[in-house]
Structure 1
C-alpha cells in the first residue's frame, strides 16, 4: 500500500513539474512577442516628443554683423564753373590784357611763344605784340612750318634774337615779361583778333628783305610790317 502511494506521489510530482515547465515556456514566448511589438510601434509619448522637437526646429536667420566704425561717404564737391576765354566782355585789347591773371609757370611751348613776343616786340604796343604772337601760332598751324611753337621759334634763320639755337635770358621779374605771358595766352587761345590776322611773316620797317615782294602785305603795326 505504501509503495502505491509513493508511486502515485512520484507520478504526481512528475506531472506537476511538466505543467510548470510548459507554463514557463509559454510565458517566455509571449514576452518575446510583446517585446517585438513594442519595438515596432513606438510609445505615444515618444511620438509626441518627436513631433514637438520637429515643430521647434525653425530656421534661424544669419547673424547680422556690425561694423565697429561708421563709414562716411564723402559728398562730391560741386565743380567751379569754367569760364571760357571767349566770354570776356572786354571792349579793347588793353582791357582784355588788364583783366587776365598773370599765368604762373608756363609749359615749354607757351614759354617759347611768350619768349618770342618778349624779345621781338616788348617795346611795341599791345596790338603789335599780339600780332607777333599770332604769327607764331599761325605758322605752327599752317603745315608749312614746324608744328610746335618751339619748333617755329628755333627754326634756323627765322628770328634774330635766337643765337646758337638758344633764347637769351629773360628778366622774369619785369612787367614786360608778365605782359608777354598774358599776350601769349591770348594769342594761343585766339581771344582777340589781330589787325594782321593770318600773317605768316613780318619784318622791322627799317629793313627791306627781298622775300617781301612775293608776299601780300596785311598791316603795319608800329615798328613791324606783316605779310601773308
Structure 2
C-alpha cells in the first residue's frame, strides 16, 4: 500500500470513530429515559397520596358536653322575693316554714335582737334594727355571722355573758319580731334605714362622726 493509500485509510477510520463518539450521548439519553419511566410510576404515586389525604377524618360538630352547655352545668336561678304592697302585709305573710339549722339559728338571734331592742317600736323601726344587724354581718367590720354580730361583746345591752336571754316564744310581740326577721333575711321589704350600721335612742347623743340615715320611732339610725 502506498503512502497516500495508508493516509486515506487512517482518515476514514478516524472519521468513523468520531461519528460513533458523537452519536453515543443521544443513544445513552434514550436508553436512560426508558428505565426511569418504567421504574418510577409517577402517575400511580400521586393518586395514592391524594387518596390517603382524603381519608383523614374531618372534625365535625358532634353533640358533646361543653362547659357552657346546659348539660354540663346546673344553672341556679334565685326566686325573686314576693312583692307586697306594705310592710305590714309582708310581715303578716311570713309563716313557720321549714329552714335548715343555720338559718333557724340566725333567725332566732335576729328575732331576739329585734324583740329586746325594739318590741315597742313600729314594725318599720323593728325592720330597721334588723337592717343594722344584717348590714354589720356583710360589712367586714363586724363578725360575718348574724348571731356573732348580736352577741358581740359591748354592742347590745340585753346580751349577758355572750348569751341572748330566753324569750317566751308564744308572745305576740316575739311572733312579730320573728316575722320581721324573716322579712329582713328574705329581703322582702326595703328598709328606710338602708346602709345603717348603728342606732341609738333619741334621748342619747351620739359620739363620733356618723352619717344620719333615718329616724324611726324612738331610734335614730346612722352609718
Q: Which has the larger radius of gyration?
A: 1
Matched, 1:218 2:213: yes
Matched, 1:120 2:117: yes
Q: Is the 8 A contact 2:109 2:150 kept in 1?
A: yes
Normalised to the residue count of structure 2, the TM-score between the two structures is: 0.61
Deviations 1:22-78 (A, max 9, x none): xxxxxxxxxxxxxxxxxxxxxxxxxxxxxxxxxxxxxxxxxxxxxxxxxxxxxxxxx
Q: Secondary structure at the match of 2:221?
A: strand
Alignment length, in residue pairs?
144
Deviation at residue 85 of structure 1 after TM alignment: 5.7
Structure 2 distance, partners of 1:145, 1:98, is 31
Deviation at residue 123 of structure 1 after TM alignment: 0.7
Root-mean-square deviation over aligned CA pairs: 1.9
Q: Secondary structure at the match of 1:168?
A: coil
Q: List alignment gaps of at least 5 residues for structure 1.
A: 1-81
Q: List alignment gaps of at least 5 residues for structure 2.
A: 1-76
Matched, 1:158 2:152: no
Quick one: structure 1 residues 130 and 103, their matched pair in 2 at CA, closer, same or farther if it must change by over 3 Å? farther
Normalised to the residue count of structure 1, the TM-score between the two structures is: 0.59
Q: Secondary structure at the match of 2:81?
A: helix
Correspondence for 1:173 among 136, 156, 170: 170
- Where in structure 2 are the equivalents of 1:1-228 lying within 5 Å? 84=79, 86-88=81-83, 90-103=84-97, 107-211=104-208, 214-228=209-223
Q: Secondary structure at the match of 2:136?
A: helix
Q: Is the 8 A contact 1:114 1:183 kept in 2?
A: yes
Deviation at residue 198 of structure 1 after TM alignment: 0.6
